[in-house]
Amino acid sequence: MPELPEVETVRRGLAPVMEGQVIAKASVYRPDLRWPFPEGMADRLTGQRVLRLGRRSKYLLADLSGGETLLVHLGMSGRMTVSGDPLGRFVHAQAAPEKHDHVVLDMADGTRITMNDPRRFGAMDLMATDAMDRHRLLAGIGPEPLGNAFNADHLAARLAGRRTSIKAALLDQRNVAGLGNIYVCESLFRACISPKRQAGRVGRARIEALTQAIRDVLTDAIAAGGSSLKDYRQADGELGYFQHSFDVYGREGLPCRRDNCGGTVARIVQSARSTFYCPACQR
């Protein structure tokens, strides 16, 4: 499932061709994805100008001129791709909708934005922009890890007294927004913290190191266009490349990449998810 770097990469790819542009026609080819689409979604989108394309956690948010915001979640296999860009920034010509093209936005300048989702775990919704923070999918989400509100003081307060594992605590979107399995594993490796360690027993110095590691991993992943393991593509259809820089994720049985460690990457299961780490240097 796309995590923060993948969604942010898609946002950056879509923003130049969506912000300030009018949706000349919205086409919806099925009644639902993971959940039913909002009533009259195609009509409510058609004619709207996209004022701003933002992101909250793993959700894309398009603020519209009519006072509503379009929420998009890519699910496990969703893609938002661009074709027909009149300025030549995207090379893919427009084509007839394919089997899994569920929502198509034709912009007034000739650009087409297509939501393709073979497994249909994605979602779209419309909400009043001024009530966005109260939406059921957004309410209660923690601070953005690349924003000023996420710091060692915040993380220390959220971890204090917690008996759950540090990995589970970081996956909890109420503590920090947008982190998923891949980037939690990579961040814990960089901070030399075992994913099995009890969250409330991570000391202050290590919390500071972890806070910085999370920022660094996400920044590096965004710069690489995210991670493409199965379905993820950037807005121009290209793959992400951060998977080639994984230190632990998916590297079970391979040597630890930390200098002078000598350990071997292991895989365990936590909360029904695979966790990859080096038992020799992550304590």
DSSP string, 214-248: HHHHHHHHHHTT---SSS---TTSPPP-GGGG-SS
Question: Residues 236, 174: one domain?
Answer: yes
Domain that holds residue 21: 4-134
Which of 3, 6, 68, 186 is catalytic? The answer is: 3
49 with 21: CB under 8 angstroms?
yes
More confident call, 239 vs 263: 263
What is residue 95's predicted lDDT score, i.e. its pLDDT? 61
Which of 52, 162, 196, 273 is catalytic? The answer is: 273
Instruction: Kindly report the length of the chain.
Output: 283
Enumerate residues 6+ apart whose C-beta is below 8 A from 185.
167, 195, 248, 249, 275, 276, 277
Q: Please report where in the chains the tokens 């630890």 appear, as a residue.
A: 256
Angle at 74 (CA atoms; ends 123, 167), nearest 5 degrees? 110
Establish whether 58 is a catalytic residue.
yes
* Sign of the alpha-carbon torsion through 223, 227, 233, 238: positive
Question: Residues 48, 92: one domain?
Answer: yes
In a domain, 91, yes or no: yes
Question: Residues 271, 167: one domain?
Answer: yes
Which of 2, 5, 143, 145 is catalytic? The answer is: 2
Which of 11, 55, 56, 58 is catalytic? The answer is: 58
Q: Sorting pLDDT into bands at 50, 70 and 90, what band is 278?
A: very high
Total domains in the fold of the chain: 2
Establish whether 2 is a catalytic residue.
yes
Which of 113-122, 142-151, 206-215, 225-234 shows the lowest mean pLDDT across its residues? 225-234
At residue 123, the 3 state secondary structure works out as strand
